[in-house]
Structure 1
């Protein structure tokens, strides 16, 4: 019948000049993951009126922000995705962590607990009725490019059945903070104590009264070191960071250079010193793991990077695939929101990408710059001090809303506060004034007297 109708329509058009209006094709989008990237994408895709589905491997929204006391695998034998630990508080002001169209409540502090932030994410999904677009317990196992479309195969973990979605665009929102990057120091197999990665760190209780080594001084390395130091007999912090930290660490806190090798009861360090140890926590970052992608994606995977990406997100070889949140040293939640707007504008056809040659040339220039500086290829994901420039670039190209400069300014000041004193930087309260300025004050948690505001950015 459809074939006959097509013949009739063609006949009417050619013979009688009848104008037949047809609906323009609306692309179908598959979003992988219901964390911050998935929630932001769903918000904008719904707003644009596009056909989309969010595939989530667990039964929850929130991604890595959902605390799960378990480690290892879940009830379906799937690796636990979240790296959340019990006492975590955010390390960026709340104004830099708000999702599109939904400010955090006024009673939220500038630096909230994971629990309150997770409640905020659930409220976001509920307010905009986003869960109806989501397939929970659907673990994506394969994404292939075939016949000008994406074939996305997921497994319903409850029934064991496989589902195939045919999509015009794929938004990958799984992030890159879920698969541990484990170092390999000599003598590890001899060590009689416990060794875990920060991905499996949940609470300080197992470390009470023990001698603990924490390796790595990124945000989680400092956070976990300080957390464990409260309860441990001794906290040994091994790192090679050259950034000076003004934090007045307690007497049981000892800093060491890189680990040289382990023994049965401890570790030697590159300065020749030795420490007796009971436990080790590696805060050594995460690998970039996208096991569902095959070679048809056109992406190259390194241990801690993926390329080539235009603006840190568009797959240059297959530009109907966008990776959201694959960035370092940025206001990640804000960045993901900006990327989601860009991705939806791309899927809607509101703008045209530069040529493949131009995109590749720009990416190659960045890669060459990293190599010339002697930096690892993982720096290809670092935005850093170019955050404002990045927001301006993607806004100008896509015609979407530009993040105001004040957001980066808040992050910059916050980073300085971290280095000055890790114990107190979360006691600052921030207030937005306009697109360029904000105020903050150091609030004594034991005082009811308002602190004096200092203006930044004038």
Structure 2
């Protein structure tokens, strides 16, 4: 790919991925514009008590709920070059994180480069240029601008993924997705069914269990959970079918249910991408992407944050640094043939193992080697190994007890070592 002089970059979205990308492009002196469909920065981290649509009739993007605390500790949530407040706890409330994001925008003076209330409606490739059509959602006025690069930073936590379960239309209770879950008081003294045991499913199950009459939890997770739940918590397998008043499960058992909360994840949703972008996408995946981010057929389009099961802030920072130096021309991508060969090997491995194509976005145990690969290819500073040590220790404490894993404090000693201690118990510490 030939270096482009004085490149112009369009960043789609002013959530964390877009803001971090903007900061690094600014550091490199690269011209960019951020297009954001709402009035706010921070994407899903902004709490809004409303559900459905906003005052402009646009779908509310945030999935934040009232009592959320981070499930990753402070060192993995800190943005490079911008320390978190010293008095911030190890696992922060959503308000603390959002204030931190707002302070980040002010510190780096990013707001002047953001066009708020500008929703991207079409991205197309014409004569080696990107044409980006966007609409002011307040006035309806449409615009079209030209760019050399497009960063898609819209995330994948805004289009709910609903399961298709027999008899659902017969059910007379309420059904929502975790995207629309805001506060537990709505479920006081109710018989609530939570479906799914990913991070949101586990967190919301515990939150609702404080107030519900019964908490029924349907999932097939193989995670080695050792948590002792309250007596009114009932573990169930997958759902077989609904009837008017409740649910029949795959083991033949039945429970009366008032409310259902689907914690069943999100879809990839990129309706603004024209066929000329050279990508395929569906609810499961976006393809083909080099290093989880570069559009192999049109490598001046990059996806920030299209990943699953990683320390997201750490990953976004590494991806944004990689993207910025790519635009600057500090390194050259592998040939299209080599990128496709690597991609096809990954696809073949997933298919051979009988896994869904959604695994194309999963980093998980390969996280440290992923950061090493980004450094090897682009020359960016390496993400230190202690981040992965923190993540592994976190998973261990989380599986041991979902009620107490946020009591631990993680202190970085150097690039290799981390001290873990129980909050307010200095005698109970260990270094790893």
Tell me, in whole angstroms, the C-alpha distance in 1 between the residues paired with 2:231 and 2:387: 37
Aligned partner (choices 176, 190, 213) of residue 233 of structure 1: 213
SS in structure 2 at match of 1:416 = helix
Which residue of structure 1 aligns with residue 357 of structure 2? 377
Which residue of structure 2 aligns with residue 454 of structure 1? 430
Which residue of structure 2 aligns with residue 39 of structure 1? 19
Tell me, in whole angstroms, the C-alpha distance in 1 between the residues paired with 2:122 and 2:44: 21
Q: Output one character per residue of 1:282-308: Cα deviation in whole Å (capped at 9) or x when no partner.
A: 000000001110111111112121110
1:130-141 correspondence to structure 2 within 5 Å: 130-141=110-121
1:253 and 2:233 aligned: yes
Which residue of structure 2 aligns with residue 401 of structure 1? 381
Aligned partner (choices 183, 186, 191) of residue 166 of structure 2: 186
1:428 and 2:401 aligned: no
Tell me, in whole angstroms, the C-alpha distance in 2 between the residues paired with 1:172 and 1:186: 36
SS in structure 1 at match of 2:122 = strand
1:290 and 2:270 aligned: yes
The answer on whether the counterparts of 1:170 and 1:322 sit within 8 Å (CA) in structure 2 is: yes
Aligned partner (choices 49, 62, 69) of residue 69 of structure 1: 49
Which residue of structure 2 aligns with residue 317 of structure 1? 297
The answer on whether the counterparts of 1:40 and 1:100 sit within 8 Å (CA) in structure 2 is: no
Which residue of structure 1 aligns with residue 372 of structure 2? 392
Measure how far apart 1:105 and its partner are. 1.2
1:330 and 2:310 aligned: yes
SS in structure 2 at match of 1:235 = strand
Which residue of structure 1 aligns with residue 109 of structure 2? 129
Q: Which runs of 5+ in 1 are unaligned?
A: 1-23
Tell me, in whole angstroms, the C-alpha distance in 2 between the residues paired with 1:100 and 1:142: 32
Aligned partner (choices 135, 138, 150) of residue 130 of structure 2: 150
Larger radius of gyration: 1
SS in structure 2 at match of 1:179 = coil
CA 1:122 to 1:433, structure 2 compared with 1: closer, same or farther past 3 Å? same
Which residue of structure 1 aligns with residue 93 of structure 2? 113
Tell me, in whole angstroms, the C-alpha distance in 2 between the residues paired with 1:99 and 1:163: 33
The answer on whether the counterparts of 1:143 and 1:151 sit within 8 Å (CA) in structure 2 is: yes
Tell me, in whole angstroms, the C-alpha distance in 2 between the residues paired with 1:263 and 1:380: 36
Which residue of structure 2 aligns with residue 352 of structure 1? 332
Which residue of structure 2 aligns with residue 361 of structure 1? 341
Tell me, in whole angstroms, the C-alpha distance in 1 between the residues paired with 2:192 and 2:396: 27
Measure how far apart 1:452 and its partner are. 2.8
Q: Normalized against structure 2, the TM-score is what?
A: 0.98
Measure how far apart 1:451 and its partner are. 4.8
SS in structure 1 at match of 2:428 = coil
Q: What is the number of equivalent residue pairs in this alignment?
A: 429
Q: Normalized against structure 1, the TM-score is what?
A: 0.93
Aligned partner (choices 163, 170, 177) of residue 150 of structure 2: 170
Tell me, in whole angstroms, the C-alpha distance in 2 between the residues paired with 1:82 and 1:263: 31
SS in structure 2 at match of 1:213 = strand
Tell me, in whole angstroms, the C-alpha distance in 1 between the residues paired with 2:165 and 2:301: 37
Tell me, in whole angstroms, the C-alpha distance in 2 between the residues paired with 1:98 and 1:168: 30
Please, what is the CA RMSD of the aligned residues?
A: 0.9
Q: Output one character per residue of 1:255-291: Cα deviation in whole Å (capped at 9) or x when no partner.
A: 0000000000000000000000000000000000011
1:79 and 2:59 aligned: yes
Which residue of structure 1 aligns with residue 201 of structure 2? 221
Tell me, in whole angstroms, the C-alpha distance in 2 between the residues paired with 1:110 and 1:235: 28
The answer on whether the counterparts of 1:342 and 1:394 sit within 8 Å (CA) in structure 2 is: yes
Q: Output one character per residue of 1:389-441: Cα deviation in whole Å (capped at 9) or x when no partner.
A: 00010111111111000001101110111111000001111111011111111
Which residue of structure 2 aligns with residue 200 of structure 1? 180
Tell me, in whole angstroms, the C-alpha distance in 2 between the residues paired with 1:303 and 1:449: 46
Which residue of structure 2 aligns with residue 3 of structure 1? none
Tell me, in whole angstroms, the C-alpha distance in 1 between the residues paired with 2:81 and 2:120: 29
Q: Output one character per residue of 1:93-112: Cα deviation in whole Å (capped at 9) or x when no partner.
A: 11111112111111111100
